[in-house]
A = this chain, B = another copy of it.
Amino acid sequence: MCNHAIITHVTSTVRSRQLGRRAMLGGALAGAALLASPVRPSGARRQLAPRAGEVFDLTHALSAAFPVYPGYTPFSATVTSTIDGIGSLSRQVTLEEHVGTHVDAPAHFIGDGDDVSEIPAGRLVAPLAVIDISARARDDADATVQPDDILAWEDEHGELPAGAFVAMSSGWDRRADDPDAYLNIGEDGLLHFPAWSPSAAAFLIEERDIVGVGVDTISMDNTTSPFFESHVILLGAGRYGVENLAALGEVPAAGATIVVGAPRFVGGSGGPARVLAIT
């Protein structure tokens, strides 16, 4: 029987290897060293069925190479245990709460704002509206989403659904492998990238019903709003932001559901998130 065969294999693998250091409580973690040659049933992956609908990954892979906003420290990771050592790989990760594809919680800018662990789970699942300004962004690195862009989206798709998450798609995510191109520091010493205009942010808060706003660039504000006006309008109204989104150009402009996997760091101003869109 398959089950029995696996158990027998595991057991014999365990028995055939020397017990490593047993200093760990109960020797359990150390015991894992016995299993460096694991069972991998052949063909197991072929059994996986495709899902109905499609899942889009809106998240950049995060490593020390990912560009960071000036002033922040890049992501780093240190291996703390190995399979050859105690039997399992683990790492200690050090990250600024605003690296990679990440959430800005209200607490990032607002003294009494919700921290990232306090954003209700129900607001992390939302109808996704993608506002595409990539054509304009090709000619103007400082392009911003304007209220008219939202109205143009609504002309095509109807009014923004209640509780929507509204994301700017500028095509900038394709630069993320090249930090210089992504940060795009000009001769003026400033970063140049597309973002939200404060007037569009204010339109969403005052005239529509949204849970949050996203960008496929490093910040919701660019040089045209140097005092972070869009952040303050959005986070000040209890909404959250997501920065450094990926692949928005591949997602339907309307009809998908976004799931923002914000970390539940207590007291956190934000944090790296897995962000998916589901159709």
Contacts and interface: CB of A to CB of B under 8 A. Distances in A.
Nearest to A34: B227
Contact of A274 (B89, B191, B235, B263): B263
A207 B2 contact: yes
Interface in A243-279: 259-276, 278
A55 B91 contact: no
A272 B263 contact: yes
Interface in A89-129: 89-98, 100-101, 107-111, 117, 121-126
Interface stretch (A66-74, A135-143, A172-180): A66-74
B267 A3 contact: no
A54 to B, nearest CB: 8
A260 B57 CA distance: 12
Nearest to A96: B92
A174 to B, nearest CB: 17
A93 B92 contact: no
A238 B226 CA distance: 47
A59 interface: yes
A188 B26 CA distance: 8
A209 interface: yes
Contact of A83 (B109, B123, B273): B109
A110 B270 CA distance: 32
A31 B228 contact: yes
A168 to B, nearest CB: 18
Most buried by B among A89, A92, A275: A89
A2 B198 CA distance: 12
Contacts of A131: none
10 contacts: A10-B198, A26-B191, A31-B227, A77-B267, A83-B110, A87-B228, A91-B268, A261-B273, A261-B275, A264-B272
Given A83-B110, A90-B270, 9 more contacts: A28-B191, A36-B111, A57-B121, A59-B264, A90-B96, A92-B97, A93-B268, A264-B272, A274-B274
